[in-house]
Every structure is written in structure tokens, then in C-alpha cells.
Chain A
Amino acid sequence: MNRRFLSPWVTVRVQFVLAAFFVVAGIAKIADPPGFAHEVHNYQIVPGALVNVMALVLPWLEVITGVCLFLGIAVRTSARILGILLAVFIAALSINLARKHPVECGCFGTAKVQKTDAQRLTDMKWAIARDVGLLLLVAQILAASRADVRRP
């Protein structure tokens, strides 16, 4: 069971899924940096002076790591970076959920539809669940590549 879960067949597909997700998410944010800066600011976690730096660099980091995963370049490093990003996203959403401060996820750029606070809070829970799922995919890649390293 464990061997099948860590097989190259599964790992390659997991890499493609993660790569597709982060490339699409990154491009959506790159298309509108001020919109993403707005979303980052709304989280009320990042200091005002750093909001723009984050809004400019983070989407490119997502795209580059996504492309690396897709091409099979520096897979472990890419997976680690995406794992850290996902952990940060989960923490940011959880902090705002805990203080009942509804925010747009901003995961795929600026939201086009106006939502109520209740809808936003529900969406935040779903976004956390999705990010936990993606984190499990990252764990699979790291575990599989570790098994590869150990294999003689």
C-alpha cells in the first residue's frame, strides 16, 4: 500500500496537480498586483510597508516553483517551498477566522463577486481545507523523493 502510494506513477501525477494549481494561482495574481496587494492588506497580518513586496514576489515564486515541479527540476526544493507557502496561507486564514475577520482568500487574484461576511467566513474554511489537502500532496512528493534517495 505504502509502496503504491509512493510510486513514481502517483508522484508524477501529484506533481502535475500541484504544479497546475500554483501556476494558475500565480498567473491570476501576476495579472493584477494592486488587486492582490489589496487582498494581502485585508488580512491585517503583513505590515503596510511589506504588502507590495509580498504582492509582487509571492505570485512569481508560486509560478516558478510550479513550473519546476512540472518539469521535474529541483523537485524537493520546490515541494518544500510550496509546503512553507501553504502553511503560511493556512495560518493566515486561520488567524482571521479565529478573530472572525472575513477576508477574501485572494488565492486566485481579486474576487469579482461581492460576498457577504458569512459567505466569506465559509469560503475561508473551505480554503483552509483545500490548502490542507494540497499540503498532503506536498508531503507525498517529499516522502516519495526521500524514498528515491534511499533506494540503492
Chain B
Amino acid sequence: MLAAAVVCAAVSNAVAGPERHLRWIGSYEAAPGGTSAAARPAGGPQPTPAASSSVTGAAASSAAARAFPPHPEKPWAEISGDDVVSLHERGDVPILDARRTSVYREGHIAGARPFSIWESDVDDKVKAFFTEGHDPSQPIVVYCSGGECEDSHMLATKLHMAGFDNALVYKDGFPDWQKRGLPVHTGDTP
């Protein structure tokens, strides 16, 4: 029966779409407390000078870089709703939603992109995000549902492993954003 269950699981997983597909081996570790540096793979992608210069030119960016300095020694730093509001107002800070895509569709921070940590295409999304040429020392806001939700911390760890040194976890997450009455978008697009 176990063998039959494994075969059925393999077949159903093979035909599942990206939102339902799972990699057989998960990697859901989040460094506890964000205080210890996650080990980066030696052959992992490194930022190119051209990529770095594409975002650092903006004066606003350097101002925020002072306010939220990179933290290469740890995968994330937690920030408050007020911090997220100021970063959101800048307009050039990527905001990534770590919740499920189906939940993202129902409502997300205006401008946020879906990066569900539980869906199998998250690594591809992180790689694509890297190749977009974001400066790895610039802030990236990640969020999930606040409270005990760890999805944003896991996504921050993935970003850190990919070479990004300034992932900022919105501690209170989307419920806090909604409570503040700030702009929310629905649907598949940011």
C-alpha cells in the first residue's frame, strides 16, 4: 500500500501545475532568530558590477541604504509597519509576498510580487529576481501573514543564500498592512 501511495503521489505530482507541484526534497530551514549567518553555497550567484550599478544610482536608494544597512552576517532583519510604509513610498524597493499564490490573489500589498515559499517555482523566481540586476545591498521587503508565520523568514533565507544581504522581514505582515488601511491589490499582478 505504501508503494502504491508513492506511485500515486509521484504521478499526481508530475502532472500538477506550478502552484500545486512540490519538490520531493524540501528546504524549509529558516536560521533561528535571524542571528546566525546561513551558509551560502560556494558556487552560488554573485552580484555583477553592472547589476549593482543599475539600482544604486538613485539618491533615494542611498538614503534608504543608510537607514537600512545591509546585514551580510544574518539572513534577515525584522522591521515594523512604519518602516515598510516608508520603503513602500519610495517606490524602488522590491516587496515580495511569501504567502501562497492563491492567498496573494485575494489581496496583497500594492506592488508586491508573489514569491510563495511553498510552491516549487520559488527557486526559479529567486534566480530570475537575481538576474533582474537588483543591488544585493539594497533593501528587499518580504512579508507573510505576521504572527507565527515563518514564510517570510524562509524566503529571506533563500534570498540570503542567493547573495542578497538586505532582506527585511515585515514582522507583523499583511494583517498589519490591512489594519492600517494601506493600498491593497488583488489578482495575479503586483
A residues within 8 Å of B by Cβ?
30-35, 37-38, 41, 48-53, 55-61, 63-65, 68, 74, 77-78, 81, 102, 110, 114
Contacts and interface: CB of A to CB of B under 8 A. Distances in A.
17 contacts: A35-B100, A35-B118, A37-B22, A37-B26, A38-B151, A49-B25, A52-B26, A56-B24, A57-B5, A57-B6, A58-B5, A60-B4, A60-B8, A61-B2, A64-B1, A64-B5, A65-B1
B110 interface: no
Q: How large is the interface on B (under 10, 10 to 19, 20 to 34, 35 or more residues)?
A: 20 to 34
A90 B155 CA distance: 31
Interface string B1-43: 1101110111011001001111111111100000000000000
Contacts of A81: 1
Interface string B107-127: 000000000101110000000
B20 A34 contact: yes
Which secondary structure dominates chain A's binding surface?
A: helix
Contacts of B28: 41, 48, 51
Contacts of B120: 34
Contacts of A31: 20
B1 A77 contact: yes
Contacts of B148: 102
A56 B9 contact: yes
